[in-house]
A = this chain, B = another copy of it.
């Protein structure tokens, strides 16, 4: 998807100054394949990696990256927002037990017979969330 090299180019394209924080966060986010992070989790990870960054900046950055199309935000749970580094067209499993979000392989779901949106409305996105839980109760 987004290669971890040319992070500066990504930021440029998004009209975001390549600041120390943004560079480091983009590196963290896009280096290791597809991920689903919360603000708090990214914050902890950044601090653990020795990146000096505040939580407010984490939030700013996640939102800026989302607006720029580098991330996609997911609401599975009212309690926190997840940010997905995979911006392609795909859907999710949500593990109710551990509050974990997992990508479904792209193309694995087929939706048909989608009704027309209400008058004067257009579809901006279709989200499918398959909630799963452990078989043993």
Contacts and interface: CB of A to CB of B under 8 A. Distances in A.
A114 B102 contact: no
A118 B98 CA distance: 13
Contacts of A44: none
Contacts of A108: 113-115
Contact of A75 (B77, B114, B134, B136): B77
Nearest to A114: B109
Contacts of A109: 111-115
Contacts of A78: 75, 77-81
A95 to B, nearest CB: 7
Interface stretch (A12-20, A64-72, A122-130): A122-130
A26 interface: no
A80 B78 CA distance: 7
A117 interface: yes
A122 B134 CA distance: 6
Interface string A94-116: 01100000101100111111110
